[in-house]
Amino acid sequence: MDFSPAGHGLEFAAPLLTTAMGILPHLDPERALDLAFSLDIPFWPQLPNLSYSEDTYVQTVRGMPGVEVDHQGLKIDFFEDRFYAELEDYLSLPPGDDHFAVSPPESATYAGFLERASGGEHAALRGQFMGPISLCLMVKDPERKPIIYRDDAREVAIRHVAAKVNRHLADLRRLNPRAFVWVDEPGLEFLFTGITGYTSESARSDLALFLSLLEGPRGVHLCGNPDWDFLLQSEVDLISLDAYNNRDILAGYRSGIARLLRRGGCMAWGAVPTHTHLLEAETAAGLAERLSWLWEKVASEGMDRALIEQRSLLTPATCCLVNPDLTATVERAFSLLPEVRELLLA
């Protein structure tokens, strides 16, 4: 993978390199790292079944003024008085300050991830945080009102997530110049269905601000099914999505996907299900055929199949923390990715 001088372009060294979302069901950090490094592009694993400290929201919000993580109540609280008391010092921090860095004690896997990443040649490295819109839906004041309704806290949160992403990217690129970071935005699926007082115009403006602050490729991941035009019409460079469960819906957005690829953007196609009842009914050949059908729809917009492959990554369809076998199905899904890749490229 190569990146343009502006830091926003992506070019993959080979088509359909494999990677995955950061959230894993494992309780053993070393086993999780083994799985993360089994793919072409290793990723930093996050293990929320192990500890609330491993929750992506928690790892993202650390260092933001006015917030407190409640490890007993499994929630993140916002306090207005603390916010304003801490804000001046926070705003004086220079870009790239250690305040925004991930420190190994904050994660059961981060030290091991850095150690393994520095010890070999990899196509790239990938990190992740929670996106600002989803974070603002999760963090709530004492009246349990999400801070997405507060202009002051919401803007700070947007800039906070961007600062965390940029520092994380800088740390990873010291180990691998082709590293990139994406943000997880599950809240986009529910953004315009049940939220009043936060308009689509505000959301577009907030997303545009966030993307403008990022120093590297602007990547967004979500497993759900949002208004895809909202993302496809933004300045995002990479979209990671669940192509397995949303295949038919995504076919209706083929022109927008084609435009993204045509302007140099990339897609990470979640092709292999990680839920036991879904994976048990599938084969590598069937999964490859399923994704090929969607690519044919995108190709009908004047896209060459080879270009689609070159500007694509291959991933599991979703993360999954709740299978009865906990890790076995997820690990099988990861092992199927190279087989599906070979069939797609045949």
Would you call 142 exposed, middle or buried from its count of C-beta atoms within 10 A (0-12, 13-18, 19+)? exposed
Q: How confident is the model at residue 196 (pLDDT cuts 50, 70, 90)?
A: low
pLDDT above 90: residue 61: yes
Query: In this predicted structure, what is the pLDDT of residue 120?
Result: 77
Q: What's the chain's average pLDDT? A: 94
pLDDT digits (tens, 9 = 90+) for 127-174: 999 999 999 999 999 999 999 999 999 999 999 999 999 999 999 999
Q: How confident is the model at residue 3 (pLDDT cuts 50, 70, 90)?
A: very low
Helix (H, G, I), strand (E, B) or coil at 19: coil
pLDDT digits (tens, 9 = 90+) for 204-253: 999 999 999 999 899 999 998 888 999 999 999 999 999 999 999 999 99
pLDDT above 80: residue 5: no
Query: In this predicted structure, what is the pLDDT of residue 2?
Result: 46
pLDDT above 90: residue 69: yes
Cβ neighbors of 194 (< 8 A, separation 6 or more) are: none
Q: How far is CA 115 from the centre of its chain?
A: 22
